[in-house]
Structure 1
Amino acid sequence: MDPTAVADIFATFRPVRCRRMFGGLGVYADGVMFALVADGRLYLKADVPFGGELAARGAEPFIYESGGRTITVSYWSMPESALDDPDEAAELGARALGLARHAAAAREANPRRRVVPHGM
């Protein structure tokens, strides 16, 4: 998935910008990373409740291997239905952006402490 495809998915939501990172893309709105692309899949920032809702829609968590360990982070794949539905993509993008803003504000308030989104 390239930056143009990502922008098309979120066109109804708002303009997004992509930056290359770790072999994938970070997806930003208003200067905040709220999604990422890895291995051709789009993932949204999520907490436990939102991740559960995404899982119920067929989404999967973003998992990767590092140093012989399996790492799961707070991003879940965009449900297939939202990839073709601009309104659903906008709704999910808005929720992910809200969670990403909350996490960023918490990091700024206490930069020495790593913040885990509420419910994780």
Structure 2
Amino acid sequence: MDEAGIADIFAAFGPVRCRRLFGGLGLYADGVMFGLAVDGRIFLKTDPGFAADLAAAGAEAFSYDRKDGRRVSLSYWSLPEAALDDGEVAAALAHRALVIARAAAAGSPRRPRLR
């Protein structure tokens, strides 16, 4: 999925900025990363309640395999198929993910930048 397709899906949400991230794209609104686009799929930042709601809508957890063979799951879940065709649903889900991402960013100390 490219940046134009992502902007189209989230048009009702507002501007989404994309940055390259580990072979995919990080999705940002107001300077906060609220989602990922990887292998043609969009994943949103979740907390346990939002993850359960997305799972009930048929979404899947984002995970990847490490070089050592372990599978890693992150707190990102796929955007349900229905949201890809309904901009208002996509916007509502993105807004919820942004609220969660902001709370997570506020609760975690910033790491020092490496030079």
TM-score, structure 2 normalization:
0.93
Partner SS, residue 11 of structure 1: coil
Alignment partners' CA distance in 2, 1:111 and 1:16: 23
Partner SS, residue 58 of structure 1: coil
Give the deviation of 1:103 after TM superposition: 0.5
Instruction: Give the fraction of aligned pairs with identical amino acids, expressed as a percent.
Output: 60
**Structure 1 residues 111 and 31, CA gap change in structure 2 (3 angstroms):** closer
Aligned to 1:104: 105
Instruction: Tell me the amino acid that sits aligned with residue 48 of structure 1.
Output: P
RMSD: 0.9
Any runs of at least 4 consecutive aligned residues in structure 1 with deviations exceeding 2 A, and if so which?
A: none
**What number of residue pairs does the alignment pair up?**
110
Aligned to 2:5: 5
Partner SS, residue 15 of structure 2: coil
**Structure 2: tracts of 5 or more residues without a match:** none
Aligned to 1:93: 94
Task: Note the alpha carbon deviations across 1:26-60, whole angstroms, 9 max, x for none.
Answer: 00000000000111100000011100000000000
Instruction: Tell me the amino acid that sits aligned with residue 79 of structure 2.
Output: M
